[in-house]
């Protein structure tokens, strides 16, 4: 089933979820590695370009994910969840969607305002144009800080999300995690 059902996620949602999850995990690790003080400058340049390429990929998929979410049906909450749990779930999912957009956008803004003016090569195929923002050291500091804070916030939220899914699967034995692992006909 491609589309979400009344109580299940469809394959499009599942594929987008896990692809974005893997991309974000990789981007967080790559983002940390490329800023290590002892890194070789040539390797660092390559890692920055890979980080930007995968970041643009994540941004594109996140835009598709948000549009799919806005246009589609949403499965009902798993039976047995309290109102507070449903509200928390909605809040965390909403924040995840917002941050998966905000983190790559702030990264794009950071690359755009950098006084180094280094092009963003998308997998060495095309150059992604910079956003029309003024380049300055102050702007670069602001966008660097925003990108880092939002990325750390996203990492924390992803860990919370994963912990909640594992709690539901192993402790509560409900279908929260299972329905994001496979699609079933309703």
pLDDT at 114: 98
Domain extent, residue 24, equals 11-181
Residue 129 Cα distances to 29, 50, 112, angstroms: 25, 16, 8
**Does residue 127 sit in helix, strand or coil?**
strand
103 in any annotated domain: yes
164 in any annotated domain: yes
Q: pTM here?
A: 0.93
How many distinct structural domains can be found in the chain?
Answer: 1
Q: How confident is the model at residue 40 (pLDDT cuts 50, 70, 90)?
A: very high
pLDDT at 186: 43
141 in any annotated domain: yes
Q: How confident is the model at residue 169 (pLDDT cuts 50, 70, 90)?
A: very high
pLDDT at 182: 85
Could you count the other beta carbons within 10 Å of the beta carbon of residue 140?
Answer: 18
User: What CA–CA distance (Å, rounded) separates 86 from 147?
Assistant: 29
Element (H, E) at 158: helix 137-166
Average pLDDT over the chain reads 95
130 in any annotated domain: yes
95 in any annotated domain: yes
4 in any annotated domain: no
**Does residue 31 sit in helix, strand or coil?**
helix
Element (H, E) at 128: strand 126-128
> pLDDT tens, 92-127?
999 999 999 999 999 999 999 999 999 999 999 999
User: What CA–CA distance (Å, rounded) separates 122 from 49?
Assistant: 8
1 in any annotated domain: no
54 in any annotated domain: yes
User: What CA–CA distance (Å, rounded) separates 56 from 145?
Assistant: 19
CATH number at residue 123: 1.20.950
Q: Are 96 and 161 in contact (CB under 8 A)?
A: yes
């Amino acid at each position: 089933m491609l589309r979400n059902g009344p109580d299940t996620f469809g394959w499009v949602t599942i594929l987008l979820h896990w692809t974005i999850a893997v991309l974000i995990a990789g981007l967080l690790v790559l983002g940390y590695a490329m800023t290590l003080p002892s890194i070789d400058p040539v390797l660092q340049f390559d890692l920055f370009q890979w980080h930007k390429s995968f970041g643009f990929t994540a941004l594109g998929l996140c835009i598709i994910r948000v549009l799919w979410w806005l246009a589609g049906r949403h499965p009902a909450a798993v039976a047995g969840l309290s109102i507070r749990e449903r509200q928390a779930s909605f809040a965390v999912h909403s924040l995840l969607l917002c941050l998966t957009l905000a983190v790559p956008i702030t990264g794009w803004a950071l690359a755009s305002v950098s006084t180094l003016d280094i092009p963003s090569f998308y997998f060495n195929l095309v150059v992604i144009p910079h956003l029309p923002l003024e380049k300055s050291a102050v702007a670069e500091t602001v966008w660097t800080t925003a990108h880092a804070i939002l990325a750390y916030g996203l990492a924390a939220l992803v860990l919370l999300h994963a912990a909640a899914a594992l709690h539901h699967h192993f402790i509560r034995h409900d279908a929260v995690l299972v329905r994001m692992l496979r699609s079933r006909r309703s």
